[in-house]
Amino acid sequence: MSVMSLLRTLLLDVVPTIQQTAALALGRLANYNDDLAEAVVKCDILPQLVYSLAEQNRFYKKAAAFVLRAVGKHSPQLAQAIVDCGALDTLVICLEDFDPGVKEAAAWALRYIARHNAELSQAVVDAGAVPLLVFCIQEPEIALKRIAASALSDIAKHSPELAQTVVDAGAVAYLAQMLLNPDAKLKHQILSALSQVSKHSVDLAEMVVEAEIFPVVLTCLKDKDEYVKKNASTLIREIAKHTPELSQLVVNTGGVAAVIDCIGSCKGNTRLPGIMMLGYVAAHSENLAMAVIISKGVPQLSVCLSEEPEDHIKAAAAWALGQIGRHTPEHARAVAVTNILPVLLSLYMSTESSEDLQVKFWK
């Protein structure tokens, strides 16, 4: 008799603590790798967990939701197995539980199902999870706020339609209000969720802007936490990329200067979304490119090009400088006076430069 079969038998034990311990053991096994998670599915354990999830006490509910989370995280196929056994409706009911720990465990499981693809995310939406996740971000517990924001982010990321469901549930206003929360992990989840909504379309980006994220989001660019800085830059990039009007709004709120300062205060991949944002702003028009020049964006991009070791960051900086310099002779001169042209040429000629980096010099 296999370990899984033995644990399945213990799930039916008359003693509640034995049931809970068996569920916890199954969760830890399933969490370890996808083969063990697959074994949990094959041993027909999921239906028993789902049945008990609705019936048992809060300790068991947390353990059972942990198993579902541990199984669902590995692959779309395993997440689909959880959907197929009817777990979503029960998990959504758990989002309304009196105990914050049960809500948190259910939100984790739903997040791990939704993050794989649009179909699974849609199944989570259809089960009615989004309005309840919005309620969860309003709860006092920081851990529950974090996972609810993260789940909304993973739902919104797949398509404009899924992002719209998050907007329609009123999530954006509540997320925007929490940008001043001192908890760094919560802030970077909120910024991620707002970015995932903004990225899809002009309309969705405008809805995020209308929630009055400016100038509050600019304070996040000065945060001590690197993830908060990076996600704040990403959010501003996702808004600015859509239209000249949205880019102009970012300029008017001091966003370009703030992003340039942020790029100067960090290194590596944390710089990347800010570099891309400057390129997107500059690409829209002569005036917007000049706004980047006036804010001292060119010297900062030149520093990134010279000192960053990673080719993809150099390539982004080269692309952004190209977007600034391509409009008029005056724009081109602003790039040239930083003496970056010899650096660009040496990178282009270098056999160590990636093809992507070399291509950027022709753009």
Domains of the chain: 242-362 (1.25.10.10)
Kindly state the average pLDDT of the residues 72-92: 89
pLDDT of residue 140: 93
Using CA atoms, how far apart are residues 308 and 266, in angstroms rounded to an integer?
A: 11
Q: How far is CA 328 from the centre of its chain?
A: 37
Q: What is the pLDDT at residue 44?
A: 72
Q: Which of 44-58, 105-119, 157-171 has the lowest mean pLDDT?
A: 44-58
Strands (E), the chain: none
For the chain, counts of helices (H) and of strands (E): 26, 0
Whole-angstrom distance, CA of residue 276 vs CA of residue 217? 17
CA distance 207 to 238: 13
Report the alpha-carbon angle 84-87-89, nearest 5: 115
- Taken in order 150, 151, 154, 160, the sign of the CA dihedral is negative
Most confident among 21-35, 45-59, 182-196, 342-356 (mean pLDDT):
182-196
Higher confidence at residue 13 or residue 255?
A: 255
Taking 90 as the threshold, does the pLDDT of residue 134 lie above it? yes
Write down how long the chain is.
363
φ and ψ of 310, to 5 deg: -80, 130
Report, as an integer, the average pLDDT of 92-99: 92
Q: Using an 8 Å Cβ cutoff, are 156 and 125 in contact? A: no
pLDDT tens digits, one per residue of 256-303: 999 999 998 888 899 999 999 999 999 999 999 999 999 998 989 888
Given a cut of 90, is residue 46 above it in pLDDT? no
Residue 8 in tokens: 């399945």
| 8 A C-beta contact, residue 4 and residue 40 | yes
pLDDT over threshold 50, residue 362:
no
Least confident of 4-8, 135-139, 305-309: 4-8
pLDDT at 110 over 90: yes
Confidence of residue 1 (pLDDT cuts 50, 70, 90): very low
The residue assigned the tokens 């200067």 is 257
Higher pLDDT, 116 or 64: 116
- The residue that leads in pLDDT, 53 or 201, is 201
Report which of 136, 43, 144, 26 is spatially closest to residue 85, judged by C-alpha positions.
43
Residue entry with tokens 């790039």 = 335
pLDDT band at 349 (very low <50, low <70, confident <90, very high): low
Q: What is the mean pLDDT of the chain?
A: 87
Tens digits of per-residue pLDDT, 147-162? 999 999 999 999 999 9
Q: Read off the amino acid at residue 47.
A: P
CB 323 within 8 A of CB 289: yes
Joined together, the tokens standing for residue 246 give 């949205």
Quote the pLDDT of residue 350: 58
Cβ–Cβ under 8 Å, residues 100 and 144: yes
**Contact of 117 with 76, CB cutoff 8 Å:** yes
Report CA 327 to chain centroid distance, whole Å.
34
Comparison of pLDDT for 209 and 304, the residue scoring more: 209
Closest to 67 in 3D by CA, of 97, 47, 96: 47
* pLDDT (average), residues 205-227: 93
Separation CA 337–CA 186 (nearest Å):
42
Mean pLDDT within 1-6? 66
Confidence check: pLDDT of 57 > 90: no
Phi, psi for residue 244 in degrees, rounded to 5: -60, -35
Q: What is the pLDDT of residues 221-237, one digit of tens each?
A: 999 999 999 999 999 99
Question: What's the N-to-C CA distance of the chain in angstroms?
Answer: 64
Contacts of 107 (CB under 8 A, 6+ apart): 95, 133, 136, 144, 147, 148, 151
